[in-house]
Amino acid sequence: MGKARVLYWFRTDLRLHDSPALKAALDLDPEVLWPIFTWDPHYVYRAKGGVNRWQYLLDCQNDLSKSITKLNPKSKLFVLREAPQTVLPKVFKAWKVTHLVFEKDTDSYARERDKIVTELAEKAGVKVISPYGRTLWDSDDVVKKNGGKATMSITQLQSAGKKVGDIPRPIPAPKSLPDPGEMPVDFSQDRPKNKPDLIAPLRVGQEHAYNSIAGPKGDFAIETLEELGFAAATTPHRGGETLALKTLEHIIADEEYAATFQKPKTSPAAFRPQATTLLSPHMHFGSLSVRLFYWRVQDLVNKYKGASTPPESLTGQLLFRDMYFAAQAAIGSPFLQTINNPYVRFVPWHLPSKVEEGTETGTNAISGEYHIDSKEAEQWFQRWKRGTTGFPWIDALMRQLRQEGWIHHLGRHSVACFLTRGGCYIHWERGADVFEELLIDHEPACNAGNWQWLSCTAFFAQYYRCYSPVAFGQKWDKEGKLIREYVPELKKLDAKYIYEPWKAPKAALDKAGVKIEGNGLGEHKEGTYPGPMLDFGERRGVCIAALKTAYHINLHGNDEQVKNGEWRKL
Ligand code: FAD
């Protein structure tokens, strides 16, 4: 028996299978091992994180805890209700920890947090071990092999990955786990006072959940939605390693589906079942190892005649994921925004309106080609967010997102293009914020990267190719099944008008029991659906012209910048 007293810190690796970090912890032959999870107000816990993502996290935690207990009845997932930066130094000392082990995380916030924790551990004489396991390759190695630069295309990722080496094969889950040691918490009174940001977002009436590091009963219990002040979740999608592995096996069992998968051929209108794997939230929380996913598919592809290839194949999707992770690893927190991000084109999108009614401030100063009051743009944003744009395809997707926390990739394309360069001309960061709140698979690198792609500010530049909020949906779903499901006010409308109800004759509307009425902003009046908030054909032209100007200025600078020699060339 070794002498190591190991604190194993679970974060976005809520699994026992294929965990290089957990293996590293067990390789220490520990005398005791505490599997812990700390509350991290910045991360899943930001007040912004919607209830559906919380539910998913709780599913993952509960499932993991049960699996730990199966391996050692004295153990479970111990939840410490305080931020790691403040609770861990106290735990190191009180529990006589010798090693802290966790899976490496290259998200910009995680890096910052882990740097602080590592310094505190070293100060306390605790050795830190942190192998990677969240991506196919270590994103930092990818960046090195890409000349220190962000991976801005799948080809760059693939060629850097090749130089890093083979994608490691998954490793099995452990068969047993050591006992946890004693867990004194008499330092609880040292909790940071008046700093709720270091504890958790306090909700009125729920303070008891936050009173002790070990929870109200002192047993390090996993929190419940009720304790946290949330109402029930609305998503049908559930989390946890057990379910993730079962789903993966189900997908692999359909050899034709898994081996010939071509993303562009999967339908954004399919739901229950959806057309793609819906494994993204499992990978976000680490309840499924990305390398297990990769190798299960690749082994199948190797023996399958006529299999699809990246970037359209299933393994290609995982490469996209690694591409965004490595891009963020290279750029750090500016990757999540436009400011200080050298790879993102500046576009003078409409900013949120704080102006008095009727003031004309939102004119696009650069193109000068059109005039939109930013108040109007703000209303468009609010209607997009609520799913009341008057375009049933967009509204169905936005309501599916709010209700279920997941929408198909091409559905994300549709709504993101519509909000930014293909309709409203609103800043992609505002859309990314809404996705951050509502997605159960919210992944900072993938969210920001894909929004940049869709808004044509980085990764992709064909701004003249816009998704029609009418024709694109019709291509996949003539009958409008997705709309009927998520926009029930239009449930009975004839398929001929379901994508453009404002064009329906009165008789067709009467038959369906719906009136085109309201501005999509106030309270919803039953039996009504708003008219379209903009003329898509017109806006498409306006957006393309504005993007053309913005691209020109990004490349050549505006007159003043040229004069001063200060434009930022991409
Ligand atoms: P599948 O098609 O089955 O793909 C398998 C896996 O590959 C996914 O689970 C996911 O991990 C990965 N993957 C697939 N497509 C992409 C992609 N384009 N970029 C990165 N990884 C990919 N994905 C997230 O995981 N988190 C996000 O926050 C996120 N935000 C997005 C925002 C926008 C505007 C857009 C257009 C896309 C976003 N995506 C995001 C990417 C993609 O839409 C989802 O990963 C995918 O729809 C998840 O469904 P799935 O698991 O069925 O995917």
pLDDT in tens, 215-226: 889 999 999 988
315 Cα–ligand 1 center, Å: 12
Q: What is the residue with the minimal CA distance to atom 21 of ligand 1? A: 321
CB 38 within 8 A of CB 120: no
Task: Report pLDDT for 211.
Answer: 66
Q: Is the CB of 345 under 6 A from ligand 1?
A: no
Looking from the CA of residue 263, the nearest atom of ligand 1 is 2
3-state helix, strand, coil in the chain (%, to 5): 45, 5, 50
Cα of 477 from ligand 1 centre, angstroms: 21
pLDDT (0 to 100) of residue 553 = 83
- Is 257 a pocket residue for ligand 1 (Cβ < 6 Å)? no
Whole-number Å distance between alpha carbons of 509 and 506:
5
Whether 439 lines ligand 1, by a CB cut-off of 6 Å, is yes
User: Which pLDDT belongs to residue 38?
Assistant: 93
For residues 401 and 449, what is the distance between their CA atoms, to the nearest angstrom? 19
Atom of ligand 1 nearest to the CA of 416: 34
pLDDT at 191: 65
Q: What is the pLDDT of residue 226?
A: 86
Is residue 22 in contact with ligand 1, taking CB distance under 6 Å?
no
Among protein residues, the one with the nearest Cα to ligand 1's atom 31 is: 447
Cα 461–Cα 467–Cα 471 angle in degrees, nearest 5: 155
3-state class (DSSP) for residue 55? helix
Cα 233 to the center of its chain, rounded Å:
18
- Predicted confidence at residue 375, as pLDDT, reads 81
The answer to whether the beta carbons of residues 432 and 523 sit under 8 Å apart is no
| Residue range 277-305, pLDDT digits in tens | 999 999 999 999 999 999 999 999 999 99
Separation of CA 405 and ligand 1 centre (Å): 13
Pocket test for ligand 1, best of 276, 283, 406, 409 (most atoms within 8 A of CB): 409
Q: Render each residue's pLDDT in the chain as its tens digit; 570 residues.
A: 458 999 999 999 999 999 999 999 999 999 999 999 998 766 655 555 688 999 999 999 999 999 999 999 999 999 998 889 989 999 999 999 999 999 999 999 999 999 999 999 999 999 999 999 999 999 999 999 999 999 999 999 999 999 999 999 999 999 999 999 999 988 776 666 655 555 554 455 555 566 688 988 999 999 998 887 788 999 999 999 999 999 999 999 999 999 999 999 999 999 999 999 999 999 999 999 999 999 999 999 999 999 999 999 999 999 999 999 999 999 999 999 999 999 999 898 875 444 344 444 333 334 333 445 678 899 999 999 999 999 999 999 999 999 999 999 999 999 999 999 999 999 999 999 999 999 999 999 999 999 999 999 999 989 999 999 999 999 999 999 999 999 999 999 999 999 999 999 999 999 999 999 999 998 989 999 999 999 999 999 999 999 998 888 888 776 666 566 665 544
Is the beta carbon of 177 within 6 A of some atom in ligand 1? no
| Per-residue tokens: 139 | 């994103």
**What pLDDT is attached to residue 83?**
86
Residue 436, φ and ψ in degrees, nearest 5: -60, -40
Please state, in angstroms and as integers, the Cα–Cα distance from residue 268 to each residue in 46, 218, 283, 482, following that order.
29, 46, 20, 9
Probe target for ligand 1 pocket from 441, 447, 460, with the most ligand atoms within 8 Å of CB: 441
- Torsion sign, CA atoms 446, 452, 454, 458: negative
546 lines ligand 1 (CB under 6 A): no
Angle at 358 between CA 355 and CA 361, to 5 degrees: 55
Please tell me if the CB atom of residue 321 comes closer than 6 angstroms to any atom of ligand 1. yes
Q: What angle do CA 88, 91, 94 make, to 5 degrees?
A: 155
Closest among 63, 52, 23 to 402, alpha carbons compared: 52
For ligand 1, atom 23, name the residue with the nearest CA. 446
The candidate with the shortest Cα–Cα distance to 154, out of 327, 277, 29, is 327
Contact predicate 406/448, CB 8 Å: no
pLDDT at 350: 77
Q: Does the beta carbon of 446 sit less than 6 angstroms from any atom of ligand 1?
A: yes
Q: How many CA atoms lie within 13 A of 98 on its CB side?
A: 12
374 CB under 6 A from ligand 1?
Answer: no
The predicted pLDDT at position 207 comes to 59
Atom nearest to 444 CA in ligand 1: 28
pLDDT of residue 555: 80
For residue 263, how far is its CA from the centre of ligand 1 (angstroms)? Answer: 11
Q: What is the pLDDT of residue 354?
A: 41
